[in-house]
Structure 1
Amino acid sequence: MHNDGNVVPLHKAATDQANASPLARLPVILLQVRDKAAQQLRHGLQELFDNADDTLFEMADRAQNNVDQNTFFEAMRDLRLKRKSIERGFLEKLFEAFVGLVQYDPAPAIAQAVAYVPPADTCRDDLERTLALEAMVAKAGNRDGFALGQLTARLNVLLGKRLDDRSNPLGPAMLCEYFLESGRNLGVEIKVKLIILKLFERYVLSEADQLYAEANQLLAATGVLPELKPAPARRALDQATASIQATPEPGVAQMDESVQEVFAALQELLLHVRGSVVPTLEASAETQPISTRDLLRLLSHLQHYVPAGTQDDFDLRNHLEQLLTRVSVKSGKSRVVGVADEDVINLVAMLFEFILADRNLPESLKTLIGRLQIPMLKVAVLDKSFFSRSSHPARRLLNEIAAAAMGWGSCDDYQRDSLYLRIEQVVQRLLSDFVDDPAIFSELLAEFLAFTSDERRRSELLEQRTRDAEEGRAKAELARRRVEQALNEGLLGKVLPLTVVEFVQQAWSKVLLLTCLKHGEHSSEWRQGLQTMEQLIWSVQRHTDPDAAMQLLALVPDLLKALRDGLNSAAFDPFATSEFFSQLEALHLQVFEGFGEKAGQPWPGLADEQPAMVAVEEHIILPCAEEGPLEAAPLALAPNDPGVLRVEQLRLGAWVEFLEDEDNSVRCKLAAIVQPGDKYIFVNRTGMKVLERTRVGLALEFQRGAVRELDDTLLFDRALESVIGSLQRLNRGK
């Protein structure tokens, strides 16, 4: 078939389009991951909108005035009209994010809506939305961080890029950004937006574990880090009861019922440890449970005698048993703790056994945190939602204290440290002031969050300066090596006047270095600087070609101008510049006079005017900006080496502990990974740099156990998960 000149064959057009499309550069397995995720996310969005009508109708039905009622009805109508466009926009954003993986480095593309810190004069609506988003992302990260971290590590290996969890296109931060962007044209009030965000968390983010599990499974099956162990099943607490980790909304009718269901599930597990809090009397025919009020009175008595030293010798159940014995002797009846209260006592005691044995908490702070056992027990006796509501103020206070303590390094003068003093103040307030009003926990939580927020802002500022300094240092090192390479390519193997060699090495190298840093090695300015250096070297060499004289004559004016401009841009010493140009002029005159002479003949002129010549035979090494730059370790490790895999899984912001010897360790956070040399920069909790390691060096330390990653998930959640696991194993063994 004849093809007209203006007609492109169909198969060729399709091929060209495919080659031009970014999707053509995405690995096939990544397209499968994207499509599988899109299918689940579409289903979650559909469930969200299917339930949004009922939720908004209920809110309208409970509205106390016509204005609020109309607000919810209008929101229902707006949501119905824009449902399809929101779903479509969400999936389009998801697809764009995957395309972006092969178009640019996505690390800076962190969800702006989530990471956005509103200015001081921002409206309250934006602040409420930002706080809600931060809480959603943090909750999802704490719950599904293990599987998400594995997925991020696999994407890094597959794409040869360095993503983090917040820029992972399937991470909770990015999913929230897609949803915000796609629903930007919703004309609803902030209270309705918060309700819709809560629905997004319930029907989309809550199922992220399945999303990550399937994505990890697909990638592992095609050989992308198959040796990584699968993420553990959703927390044991969720297995005991689906609502354990739920955060019921205040005012929801089902809240009390949900709390009772959770506590009942825990009581079933605690059945076999009952009887540990009983008076040490002979069995009596008559037993009388003490009331919850009397139990709180006994605990308040014990609360004032909590030792300030180590908690290892303080057995709460033993002390309570002694008090019960005294009460029983005085009353003549065997006074016992009620079943529900005893279950709470046993559960809290087991939780603190885990907390005090937790390796992630610094030893010097365990003593302070251990003294919170009785206040936490009292609030749990008063309010059983302590075990089921992750936003419970007492529970949050314990988690916030543990999170702040994560990067706390012990020192000889630790009792004067601001964080230690603040935690000690919180503990002392609870021991001295908390009787039976849990409101004190909300007050102390607000004060502690304000304190840690100020500390975090200061540390983040210093941490950013540390990152900037390290990245600048790395960029300068890379530019220095590039200039060294250019100088060696231009000078090695040549015999040149010493004046010119010294000028190129000491002066023009600085011009090239500044040009490389400012414009990059692919710029026209860089090419012009190299060309000027090459022309200078050519201009002072002996030439036998008759045409070379005319070339030199034409070259010199532009060469001198380029040299002057370059030296001026580098603020070079004017006196030294003038002296060099005088010497260069003499060299050019001698070159002109020497045209036609044979190579190797002496330069024309008097013997004492002969220029000093030097043969450049050794590689030029420019001085470093700082002494002792860290070079990449010469030892190479296999990509599947266990130590290398541990390093690959280490995410930015992760806390680690370096063990210097048996008695000393350093806790620090991974703040940056900079090139060249894959330098891992670690900072302390104030944001100050404390350690620097190469990728290989860090892998070797993981191999020999000299460094370990700290578990920065919520302390209370980890403790409750561990206790439930232990109780489940105990029950299976009965």
Structure 2
Amino acid sequence: MMVGAATPPQYQAVYRACIKQAAGQGAALMQATLRRGLAELPAQAEAISDVVERNLLLEALAVAREQQQVLAEAFPQALLAEVASAIAGDRASSLSFESLPLLADDQVQDNVHVVRAAQALQEAVQAELAAFEALLAAAQLAPAGDAQRHPLRPEVYVRALYRLARQSPVAATVRRRWLRYLPLAMAPELAATYVALAGTLEGQGVVAPPPAPAAAPSATDPSADRATQLTIRELKQLLAGEPPPLAVLDPTVAEPPPPDFTHTVPAAFQALQDLRKVDQLLLQLRQRQAAMPESAAGSREDFRRALHGQTRTPAQALGLEVVHVMVENLADDPRLLPPVQDAVRDLEPALLRLALADPRFFSDRGHPARRMLEQVTQRSLAWTSVDAPGFREFLDGLQQAVEVLLEARAAGTEPFEIALGALRDAWAEAQPRGRRGRERAVRALLRAEQRNLLAERIADQIRARPDALGAPAEALAFLTGPWAQVMAQARLSDDSGYDDPGGYGALVQTLLWSVQPTLVARAAHQHAHLIARIEAGLESIEHPPAETQRWQALLRQQRVLAQYAAAGAEPHISEPVPLPATPGTWLAPPEMQDSGFVPEPGRAERESETAGPESLPQPELHPGAWVELPAEGGDRLQLTWSSPHGLLFLFTQSGGATRSMTRRRVQQMLADGSMRVVSQHAVVDGALDAVARAAWRNSVWGG
């Protein structure tokens, strides 16, 4: 995706229109698919030599003929559900690497059919799909990296068919034949859909750049997964296996090429534990890399072959294959800068040696080597350029850690534990105020969330009061906005156990009386007291003085209007006071300063921005996700904390500065393109999921 400019709002609108258009055509697409399948597949069935398979296909076709109308009518809803799942960043958990041990045989069978059908359908519509995707990329609508490929890809259509089949009262054998044979019957209509969608984008002025000659496939393209012979059965066995004894390794065999360093292994670990002392070590490393620019790949290949000679079980050989494919997927991830990709490749020998002795690396997310690899790759996403501030220091520490891990040549977890601890210390030292700033921000946001949740309950109680039914909207906006915050703060700060600490609750009745013609007489002698109490209450939450004055002026105007109305006279208001903005979530100025809070729009503006039925679900961000702000030069932020009730998010920049927002604000920015997801899930998870995707396609399962 291009960096540096936000997606134009009209493109967001046309993108929503494209998805609505695709869903609207879902019924016709499924009707045409079924017509074609019912016309062409019986002949294919007769050509099948396996009598059982032939009869099962004919049975599936008979059921499809009976349910043809129902299936066509239900398909658009199934498609919309899968589109929503794709937009929200669902990793298709049933296909993820870590989910494999949890899958029963019937789930494996179904998913094999889904993956293989999606691959076949994509190949059948590749030309039309490529043209559509080029336009999505030109309009900066294609999602960045990760598992979030665009939500109209062929896999989503196949998953919609799978959802539809699962919801239908049919036998598993029928469901699997539908998945095996119907997707290709969908190809002509899906190709036409992509052509129509491309025309919609072009009609809005989107122009795709000319295709680059011999462009390499994207690392997130499912067709670009590394070639491998792995199967799902093998991966399930690997993840269920027990670690072999460390003694199977011969430490004198199959070592990687010796480094150009003379210090001993203990000395290497000492260097690793103090990553600030990098000058001589890194100078030698860079000199060696410059002198042998093409030797690394050959050395790694030699090392892999030598390690294969040490394997004692099929699981060990399988582990080596998984590590190699995982590393290649990581090293080709376009989100990682080239020096980080090189460091990941350099780390492969250490990971191979570890996998040979300890396959827990694959199944245990808490494994030190897994955590090191995850944290290094995740942290590297903070930078979009090798010249960005802080990247050189990050890379120096990473290169030294990799070099020492290679030199240590140890098969256990201890070297990775030391490396990870040293890197964390170096990162913390590079951001001396970062941790303290985040802790201060978290405290402020926790306090704000607690007060806002209580204020919302208080606001609901105020709206439900009988004397609030006839109150003007301006008075209710004040009472359910700033004044509810005042009452909530008083209750949270009070240890006395009083029902109305500070007496702020009693003012609600007085204010409601003062702004209603039928009740204003009851508050006739309390106006001065009312003004003073409002002033004191708003000061207790450090409400901005300018906003306080605006509210006082508005409420004074409402009292005057009520008095005129009670006397039956015409009001003489020369200039109405505008209603101050009322954010849905309010933070006090010190809380905003401590957390770098980005205010959300006022209530009226927010309601005007609320999308209608064409709105798209946005990714549900979780701590660890990286986002990019195109309008701010492509700055990247990592979601490092979300409040217990999900009301507030805290983001951190590479230099340690914090920025916080409400969940609603984040969702709005994602919807209008001013925030874009770079990585929703751990980079290593994506690389392992790619291993699983390749294995799914290599798998052949009956049923």
Which bin holds the TM-score, normalised by the shorter protein? 0.3 to 0.5
Greater RCO (CA < 8 Å, at least 6 residues apart):
2
**TM-score, scaled to structure 1:** 0.40
Larger radius of gyration: 1
**TM-score, scaled to structure 2:** 0.41
